[in-house]
Chain A
Amino acid sequence: MANPLARLDAIDRRYLYGVLLLIVVVGLLVPIPLPLAVGPQARGFYDAIENADPNKIAIVSTLWSASTQGENRPQTSVVLQHLMRKRMRFALIAFGDPQSTTLAQELAEELARENNYVYGKDWINWGFRADIAGTLKGLVRDINETIKRDSIMKKPLAEHPVMAGIHNVKDVSVIAEVSASGNYVSWLGLVVGSTDAPFCYAPTSVMAPELYTYLDSGQMKGMLFGIKGAAEYERLLGIKGFTTRAITPVSLSLVLLFVLIGLGNYGMYASRKKPSQGGTA
């Protein structure tokens, strides 16, 4: 008789998706207070904004679309909330995917209403730029000449009070990039060396492991490791938002993955073992 455990490596994937869905739904409805330690990467990001010069402007660069908003939207949200809490001026700019400027604008408007931030006075949207390298080199030289008009009111940049005294990247307090792509190379290569402003990065979890070398070398002052990084940042800000709730199903689904990998491997091992022959060895 065949070993029933040998079938463990051939479970219909639809059952596995069903279990995963159940875990996610239960995890979202019944948040389990799991411990979440704030890592030095998130702390570095937080400190960079906390210690930024309030007389300068912060740049929040976004390169994400609806496909990665599960991670990038909460990251953008915590960064904007921190800037608004500090009453710092900030400018949004988007590269790579034009959805990014719309989604970031939508989020910023929502948070601006809650924090009494006025467009044009406290914050501005520099819009979407298709050419990353050309735009970044332009920002180093002259921001007004490079961006020309804002994305919402279509007015010359210099006419907005938020841009008073802002000429080039030397007038920037902190650069925060929230991205689903490797845009950091352009920022590090073309901008970071030209300004004292610390550069912080909030990538998706997929990209995060390869960025530790940049933290180690000091080129990045902080990093938000996907949704986990956003949850750590929420903890630093003392708020309980979406990621605080989402971290339970994230943890449970990873546990499920470990269990399934174990079962699958055991099933494969069991299916390779020859069945015993009537008591003979």
Chain B
Amino acid sequence: MEWSHPIGVWVGAIGTLALFSLIYRENRLYRLFEHLFIGLAAGYTIKAVWTETLKPQWWIPMTEEGRWPWVFALAGGALFYTIFTKKYNWMSRISIGVLLGFAAGQSFQATANVYIPQIRGSFKPLWVRPDMIPEGSLVTPLGQSLSNILFVVIIVSVMTYFFFSFEQRNKALQTTARTGRLMLMFAFGAIFGSTVMARMALLIDRVWFLMNRWLGIG
């Protein structure tokens, strides 16, 4: 092992091993490093919000570039804190109302842009002719037709499952909803598999760090 390794690598290795010690059992070393990690991340965020956002976006324009009206942003932000006083907490609603208005307008635009193309994308031809297949594609018209039919069956059955407004007594409706629930289970299975893969990737990254960067193996 080389003792010339940077201190950062050693701190990282000790921190990783301390956090992994939870696998054996709950212990004080794990708690210490867990608190250290959370504290560092929180402190880093506060510092970064000032250096990366508030200072270049608000402080410098206001104090060095003559854009003095930015001072009103401080007053507007300070109004949020009146929520802690019984006498003046009504004033916080001014700032909250303005922000809600901005957020509502943005959400309206964003919702339309995000979901309308998806609704449009769900309108698929159930019978695909050869001239509808892009040039060079390996998919056959029959294969694409089956894929589209499956897509429509799944989307209709899953949406039927979410009809909670009335009791589903009709046999056809019940079968469709049950199919929808089954399809959802397939999706949850895929999400579970992906989640496991993600967690494995994080473990592998840390193990590789310990092996390669710290111990110099591999």
Residues of A within 8 A of B (CB): 13-14, 17, 20-21, 24-25, 27-29, 65, 67-71, 73, 97-99, 101, 127-131, 133-134, 137, 148-149, 151, 154, 185-186, 188-190, 192-193, 204-206, 208-210, 213-214, 216-219, 225-228, 242, 245-246, 249-250, 253-254, 257
Q: Mark B168-195, 1 if CB is under 8 A from A, else 0.
A: 0000000000000000000100110111
Query: Does residue B125 face the partner (Cβ distance < 8 Å to A)?
Result: no
Distance (whole angstroms) from the CB of B15 to the closest CB of chain A? 10
Query: A101-B48, A188-B114, A246-B208 in contact; A227/B201 too (CB < 8 A)?
Result: yes
Q: Which residue of B122, B200, B217 has the most chain A CB atoms within 10 A of its CB atom?
A: B200
Segment of B50-58, B70-78, B159-167 engaged in the interface with chain A: B50-58
Are A213 and B118 closer than 8 Å at their CB atoms?
yes
Which of B112, B195, B218 contacts A205 (CB under 8 A)? B195
Residues of B within 8 A of A148 (CB): 56-57, 61
Are B197 and A250 closer than 8 Å at their CB atoms?
yes
Are A205 and B197 closer than 8 Å at their CB atoms?
yes
Query: A68-B202, A71-B201, A209-B190 in contact; A25/B52 too (CB < 8 A)?
Result: no
Which of A21, A186, A254 contacts B196 (CB under 8 A)? A254
Are B53 and A128 closer than 8 Å at their CB atoms?
yes
Which of A151, A192, A205 contacts B201 (CB under 8 A)? A205
User: How far, in angstroms, from A225 to B208 measured CA to CA in the complex?
Assistant: 21
Chain B contact residues: over half helix, strand or loop, or mixed? helix
Are B109 and A189 closer than 8 Å at their CB atoms?
yes
Residue in chain B with minimal CB distance to A243 = B201
User: How far, in angstroms, from A242 to B190 measured CA to CA in the complex?
Assistant: 25
Residues of A within 8 A of B109 (CB): 189-190
Are B52 and A129 closer than 8 Å at their CB atoms?
yes
Which of B113, B194, B208 contacts A206 (CB under 8 A)? B194
Which of A28, A127, A151 contacts B218 (CB under 8 A)? A28
Residues of B within 8 A of A218 (CB): 117, 121
User: How far, in angstroms, from A151 to B48 measured CA to CA in the complex?
Assistant: 11
Are B207 and A24 closer than 8 Å at their CB atoms?
yes
User: How far, in angstroms, from A148 to B52 measured CA to CA in the complex?
Assistant: 11
Query: Does residue B49 face the partner (Cβ distance < 8 Å to A)?
Result: yes
Which of A130, A185, A193, A249 contacts B200 (CB under 8 A)? A249
Are A249 and B204 closer than 8 Å at their CB atoms?
yes
Query: A65-B41, A129-B52, A137-B106 in contact; A226/B194 too (CB < 8 A)?
Result: yes
User: How far, in angstroms, from A14 to B48 measured CA to CA in the complex?
Assistant: 39
Distance (whole angstroms) from the CB of A215 to the closest CB of chain B? 10
Residues of B within 8 A of A216 (CB): 121
Query: A128-B52, A151-B52 in contact; A25/B197 too (CB < 8 A)?
Result: no
Q: Mark B102-126, 1 if CB is under 8 A from A, else 0.
A: 1100100111111001101110000
Are B194 and A250 closer than 8 Å at their CB atoms?
no
Query: A17-B23, A213-B118, A253-B200 in contact; A69/B195 too (CB < 8 A)?
Result: no
Are B208 and A189 closer than 8 Å at their CB atoms?
no
Are A98 and B120 closer than 8 Å at their CB atoms?
no
7 contacts across the A-B interface (CB closer than 8 A): A29-B211, A69-B205, A70-B204, A128-B48, A189-B109, A209-B187, A228-B197
User: How far, in angstroms, from A193 to B44 measured CA to CA in the complex?
Assistant: 34
Query: A192-B113, A210-B191, A242-B208 in contact; A127/B24 too (CB < 8 A)?
Result: no
Residue in chain B with minimal CB distance to A252 = B200
Query: A71-B202, A249-B200 in contact; A205/B194 too (CB < 8 A)?
Result: yes
